[in-house]
Each structure stands twice: as structure tokens, then as C-alpha cells.
């Protein structure tokens, strides 16, 4: 996203109560130049994937050249009930 030449970047956090365990979903999307198909993930994307997986989550990066990039990370949540 840092090199995206984007006009806009959206960041959204949601909680997915339907998954087990429930998950915190982080979506970052821009309208920039996108990632060329031939480009391998750099240190930043690789590091984000490793960190999500270390926490038991998932990481996806999807891009269309000229149409932007969308990064989605889902991390498991531990919900505590108040008693």
C-alpha cells in the first residue's frame, strides 16, 4: 500500500461471529496501481502473513493492476463473558 500511488485507502475492522473461533477481520483496500502479477511478495507482505499465521489467523493479498490492492487479515478472538 505504501507504493500504491493511491488516491484513497480504506481500513475496516469487523468481528466475524459466524466463524469458530470468532475472528477479528481487518481489510485494507486502496485504489492505486495494484501489484503486477510477476512481482513476488516483498518483506512487508511476507511479514504480515507470518504474523497473522503466528496468531492462528489468515492473510490474503489480492490485486488487479491498475485497479488497486485489497489486504485481508483474520485473527481469532478470545471472547470473555462478564460474570
pTM listed for this prediction: 0.78
Beta bridge partners of 59: 73
Domain-located, residue 15:
yes
Tell me the three-class secondary structure of 40-75, residue by residue: CCCHHHHHHHHHHHHCCCEEEEEEECCCEEEEEEEE
Q: Is the pLDDT of residue 43 over 70?
A: yes
| Spatial CA neighbour of 45 closest among 65, 66, 70 | 70
58-72 tens-digit pLDDT: 999 998 888 899 999
Domain-located, residue 43:
yes
Domain-located, residue 2:
no
Q: At 51, which CATH number?
A: 3.30.565.10
pLDDT band at 40 (very low <50, low <70, confident <90, very high): low
Domain-located, residue 3:
no
Amino acid at each position: 500500500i505504501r507504493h500504491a500511488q493511491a488516491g484513497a485507502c480504506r481500513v475496516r475492522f469487523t468481528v466475524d461471529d459466524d466463524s469458530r473461533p470468532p475472528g477479528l477481520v481487518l481489510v485494507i483496500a486502496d485504489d492505486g496501481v495494484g501489484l503486477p502479477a510477476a512481482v513476488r511478495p516483498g518483506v512487508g507482505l511476507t511479514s504480515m502473513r507470518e504474523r497473522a499465521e503466528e496468531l492462528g489467523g489468515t492473510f490474503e493479498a489480492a490485486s488487479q493492476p491498475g485497479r488497486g490492492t485489497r489486504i485481508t487479515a483474520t485473527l481469532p478472538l478470545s471472547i470473555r463473558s462478564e460474570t
